[in-house]
Amino acid sequence: MSWKNSYKSKLITLEEGVGHIKSGDHIVVALGAAEPQGLMSLFNTVGDKVRDVIVSNCLNVRNYDFITNPAMYGHFTNEGWFYTPTMRASHVHRTVSFVPNHLHCAMRKRSGHRRPNIFIGTCTPPDKHGYVSLSLSVTYEREALDEADLVIVEVNANMPRTFGDTSVHVSQIDLFVENNLPLFELPEVDPSDKDLLIGGHIAELVEDGSTIQLGFGGIPNAVAQGLLRKKDLGVHTEMLTDGMVDLYEAGVITNQCKSLFAGKMIATFALGRKKLYDFIDDNPAVAMLRGSYVNDPCVIGQNSKMVSINTTLEVDLGGQCCSESIGHRQFSGTGGQADTAIGAQLSPGGKSIIALYSTAKQDAISKIVPTLTPGAVVSLSRNDVDYVVTEYGVAQLRGTSIRERVKQLISVAHPKFHAWLQEEAEKMQIW
């Protein structure tokens, strides 16, 4: 049978797709903007027919009823690698739970614990050779697709065709659903004055010819603006962002000095706005590779002058970072923070940078603290932080003693908390 006839024979409706879900299934769904929104929107319609279905995913972008509806408890549980606002709000309903992980081994460990029965993802229409592109994410999707008993994908003509580990032949997919939804876009975040100060401090630490990793939000956007005067930067990142497109178009990102995949931006997923999706469409300068490779610290460390730039929620006076919880309450996730920080330290000339505001709640709370809040998760150990940056400057921690770290970190805290931090350090003998 030709691939075209095979494709037609595998076409089903959204309703038929969710009809394949049965009690006890473990379903892995694609990440972020690659999320199969049509099928996931209908999971709740089979809720009364199934029990104990586990849905593993990361960065869900919509408020799905199977997550937000308390009546889904016992029927569906969303066990995510990263808490989003939807998951935080739904935690009280017991319809969600967090899966601790480092991104580079998240799928391997998950499938080792419980192999997926079903993978549900998204893709482009087939090309003339019968290959679809998984498009916006291969963070864990390729492994899940290879391991699942049943593979269902939503074919969306709006998705960009990307290269790398994204190409899959029609013969490797069991069922297709055509559903041309608009792509999810992150809202544009304009950097605040604090963001711009932090971005400027970080830009001073980035040398020409460095390879960078950035996230999303006000601080990363400000860092991108601060890098506009740099030369010959490269990209090796889990997430490809709008800011990287801006830097490429400004001639700052050339990828020519990279020691690994020279000439190419390397990422595991893309999440942003239309300009990003248009940029990566059919672009051979971008390679989307599986997260188990891209985020492996040993791979990251092969890049020269690798700079890992991450944000955190609070830092203690020894340099421990809590980036994913507020006390005992899960807020986000570890993601690739430790992967990239450790990888950067393995890199010749590499740097691990952590950024945060000095305070929260209108300067009422210091985010540089004597000890982390009780119950807080240590997302990044004190051994893996070279620089901590706030709007007040840069604390250089690489190679320092605890005594030196206390001084450095207090210097970048809000001035109103300097005396309190010093007193607490003395009281607890943090030196």
Catalytic residues: 238
CB-CB contact of 333 with 81 (8 Å): yes
Count of beta carbons in the 10 Å neighbourhood of residue 108: 13
Which H or E element spans position 164? Answer: strand 163-164
The residues facing 368 across adjacent strands are 315
Give the residue carrying structure tokens 């672009």.
Answer: 283
The conformation of residue 253, written as its DSSP 8-state character, comes to B
- Beta 365-366 vs 359-360: how paired, if at all? antiparallel
Which H or E element spans position 77? Answer: strand 76-80
Residue 377 CB burial class (10 angstroms; 0-12, 13-18, ≥19): buried
94-100: long-range contacts at Cβ-Cβ below 8 A with a sequence spacing of 24 or more? 95/66, 95/67, 95/68, 95/69, 95/70, 96/67, 98/330, 98/333, 99/56, 100/334
Coil, strand or helix at 244: helix
Backbone angles phi, psi at 217, to 5 degrees: 120, -175
HSE-up (13 A, CA, CB side) for residue 53: 25
Give the integer Cα–Cα distance in Å for 7 and 430: 65
Give the integer Cα–Cα distance in Å for 116 and 214: 30
Give the integer Cα–Cα distance in Å for 43 and 135: 23
Tell me which residue of 335, 292, 270, 293 sits closest to 98, measured CA to CA. 335
- Beta 387-390 vs 351-355: how paired, if at all? parallel
